Amino acid sequence: MAVLFKRDEPTDTSHINPGDTAWILISAALVFLMSPGVGYFYSGMARSKNAVSMVFLCIIAMSVVSVQWMIWGYSLALSDTATNPFIGNMRYGLMLNVDNRPHANAPSIPGSVYAIFQCMFAALTPALALGGAAERIRVFPVILFCFIWTTLVYDPIAYWSWAPNGWMGNMGELDYAGGTPVHIASGFAALAFAIVLGKRKGFGQEKFEPHNYLNIILGTSMLWFGWIGFNGGSAVASNGRAGMAAAVTHIAASMGGLSWSVVAYFRNGYRFSSFHFCSGAVAGLVAITPGSGFVSPWAALVYGAVAGVICHFAVDLKEKLRFDDALDVFAVHGVGGIVGNLLTGIFASKSVAALNGSEINGGWIDHHWKQFGYQLAGSCAGAGWSFVVTAIILYIFNFIPGLHLRIHEEGEISGTDITEMGEHGYKFATIEPSPGNDNISLSALEQGKPQVHSSESSSQTDANVEKTS
């Protein structure tokens, strides 16, 4: 242990920039908000009996990965002294060598600031993937799963993309803020979840609809807000490139929401839906992520429009191919991440990268035709690794007593909130007897129906409560 986690001697830190440091700390706080944002987004999309557990799973995933990040995740994913192209060394194990000394990727901020900023990316990713298993997953095994998955899936892909000696970055793939490590990895992990865990009870026979559109809007707003730090902070400095990344992020989200909404308007009875707009906005945010520090604002319109349309139709794949991706994680993050990666191969611009002095060959608009191939290769590698390794982990878990991830049938019917946590997202208050009120007592939402003590009011009360549910 003494050899693996040896602490280095202090070095000069006079070039640390206070403005850059402050911006990245703020960005880390913004990205933190995205984990509960995903929770509320998923909670609203799920049925009411699973609302609490979806938020809780996202929070507990964040906590587990933060511990993993401190032990060895940061070192495996972003070691700047490892020489092999596939995985980092243990220089930063237990964060013993993380202090004021800058990381090679962030020369103007302390290493501790860069580490906590990147921790928020890692913590968000498995939370995204869990949406593919919504409404049928046990809580306890998720704790161990997130630790193992981050170690075997997220950390290697992050190293390939961002570490100084990672093979995808050295090959020439451009990934500014996580198109492959975050979105493609989580999207294809969600696909593995959906296939290995199997379909929810009633899939294909009953229509699963969001239970709370306000939660969806709230979650989307938190994600949108946090994404400014997610992409803008990836400049790891407070400069013009960070500003451009924040600008194109907002534009792509806006266009994504509009394009998805318009397509859905014509496909679904000429009515607008807040759910469709929110899904499109998230698709736009996903797509712009890998290109946010490489493209101009006009290109962000294309990112949002293309992602909104393609991801909308990608949702239909689960019906056609018969896999139950409960919350459309594969369609939005898996497909959206690939769309963003490929568009970056077309629209990446030398001039935008030069805003902070960086040099790239650009994409097709700069006549660098090979860039599209690099983006495609990186996308395929990340998707394949995430899907295969996630499926293997899930299959192994099913053979270990106490670690099977699929909830039992009775628990699925009752809902994961009460079965796994003994808690409810919603309760109805008891109405005391009073003049004009025939002693109506509304129970908690455990059974989904109230107890009615008056035959005259029974029918009306049942209707009102069912509508409220």
User: What value does the mean pLDDT of the chain take?
Assistant: 90
CATH code at 18-398:
1.10.3430.10
Is the confidence at residue 69, as pLDDT, over 90? yes
Distance CA 70, CA 4 (A): 14
Distance linking the first and last C-alpha atoms of the chain: 55
CATH 1.10.3430.10 domain range(s) in the chain: 18-398
pLDDT tens digit string along 233-290?
A: 999 999 999 999 999 999 999 999 999 999 999 998 899 999 999 999 999 999 999 9
User: Among positive and negative, which fits the CA dihedral 448, 453, 459, 460?
Assistant: negative
pLDDT at 10: 55
pLDDT at 90: 95
Neighbours of 14 (CB within 10 A): 4
pLDDT tens digit string along 16-34?
A: 999 999 999 999 999 999 9
Q: How many residues does the chain have?
A: 469
pLDDT at 425: 85
Percent of the chain exceeding pLDDT 70 equals 88
pLDDT at 279: 97
